[in-house]
């Protein structure tokens, strides 16, 4: 297995492309937007430069990684010859279903299909594909080149052979595969998102301020990043989307998004990607300055 197609050139897509290319695979990175592809390649260049400056790769390895990536704006052209296609598009069910319907049309029945979804049902995605036993969840963590975990999610029909194939592949990428079953949020987000949501509720109820909440979790619980800072890093819109998937899937009020989170997403305060969330990133990408609307909290 040498050719991998990655659909989506955003944060996760370019990170996945980088990781496969650095490990010697030919990567076809696909996005309908030329601008997104250019931005994705710029991010890969920047991350490789950082790795070279730290001495973890050579200049030759950097250039070899870049040369392993080919960009496409047409999905049909991009998936030709791919042994594995990984979908890393926006976390929207209707978009993913449209993509997988196209993959079903354009790819051979031997092609393995993976989705990087962090919460959406693998079984539901596989329902639009002939031979759904070849569809699996391959949930990478951000930043992909650095984070060692891959959450491998079996859909209702996913075969043992495909599961073993993906687990072995993750190992070849230097990752640790952890298997999970197909329920909303899987393992990572089923535990993480309620914690983030509860941190937002704690702020919403004015129990403590932004930096105080994050400090308690970092200094008292040993977390490398506070939950509000982490929410900004993930993207508040992504957090809201995942919580909605879990709430719809379980019908349990403990997964209901905090009204403050909903309001912030509606106001386009999405975290680092928009320049402001719980922290202000207008001067630095580090969470050093609390957003002005929360300075007087509680």
Per-residue pLDDT of the chain (298 residues; tens, 9 = 90+): 799 999 999 999 999 999 999 999 999 999 999 999 999 999 999 999 999 999 999 999 999 999 999 999 999 999 999 999 999 999 999 999 999 999 999 999 999 999 999 999 999 999 999 999 999 999 999 999 999 999 999 999 999 999 999 999 999 999 999 999 999 999 999 999 999 999 999 999 999 999 999 999 999 999 999 999 999 999 999 999 999 999 999 999 999 999 999 999 999 999 999 999 999 999 999 999 999 999 987 7
Active-site residue, 189 included:
yes
Domain ranges of the chain: 3-181, 190-290
Q: Which of 68, 104, 116, 189 does the annotation list as catalytic?
A: 189
Measured CA to CA, the distance from residue 147 to residue 44 in angstroms comes to 15
Report the binding-site residues: 8-13, 31, 91, 96, 118, 142, 273
Residue 252: active-site member: no
Active site (annotated) includes residue 139: yes
Question: What's the CATH number for 190-290?
Answer: 1.10.1040.10
Please state the CATH superfamily assignment of the domain spanning residues 3-181 in this structure: NAD(P)-binding Rossmann-like Domain (3.40.50.720)
pTM of the complete model:
0.92
What does the radius of gyration of the chain's CA atoms come to, in whole angstroms?
A: 20
Answer whether 97's CB lies under 8 Å from 71's CB: no
Which one is catalytic: 119, 121, 133, 151? 151
**In this structure, are residues 49 and 174 in contact, taking their beta carbons and an 8 Å threshold?**
no
CA angle 166, 68, 12 (to 5 degrees): 55
């Amino acid at each position: 297995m040498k050719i991998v197609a990655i659909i989506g050139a955003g944060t996760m897509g370019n990170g996945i492309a980088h990781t496969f290319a650095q490990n010697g695979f030919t990567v076809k990175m696909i996005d309908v937007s030329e601008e997104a592809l250019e931005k994705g390649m710029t991010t890969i260049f920047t991350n490789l430069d950082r790795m070279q400056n730290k001495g973890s790769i050579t200049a030759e390895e950097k250039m070899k990684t870049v040369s392993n990536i080919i960009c496409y704006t047409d999905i049909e052209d991009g998936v030709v010859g791919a042994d594995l296609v990984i979908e890393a598009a926006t976390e929207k069910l209707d978009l993913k279903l449209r993509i997988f319907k196209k993959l079903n049309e354009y790819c051979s029945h031997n092609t393995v299909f993976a989705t990087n979804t962090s919460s959406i049902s693998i079984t539901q995605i596989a329902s639009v594909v002939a031979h759904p036993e070849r569809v699996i969840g391959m949930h990478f963590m951000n930043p992909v080149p650095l984070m060692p975990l891959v959450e491998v999610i079996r859909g209702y029909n996913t075969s043992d052979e495909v599961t073993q194939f993906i687990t072995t592949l993750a190992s070849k990428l230097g990752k640790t595969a952890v298997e999970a079953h197909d329920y909303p949020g899987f393992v990572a987000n089923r535990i993480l998102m309620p914690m983030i949501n509860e941190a937002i509720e704690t702020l919403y109820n004015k129990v403590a301020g932004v930096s105080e909440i994050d400090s308690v979790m970092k200094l008292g619980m040993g977390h490398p990043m506070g939950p509000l800072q982490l929410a900004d890093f993930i993207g508040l819109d992504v957090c809201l989307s995942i919580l909605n998937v879990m709430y719809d899937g379980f019908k349990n009020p403990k997964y209901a998004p905090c009204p403050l989170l909903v309001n912030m997403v509606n106001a386009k305060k999405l975290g680092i990607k928009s320049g402001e969330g719980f922290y202000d990133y207008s001067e630095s990408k580090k969470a050093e300055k609390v957003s002005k609307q929360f300075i007087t909290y509680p």
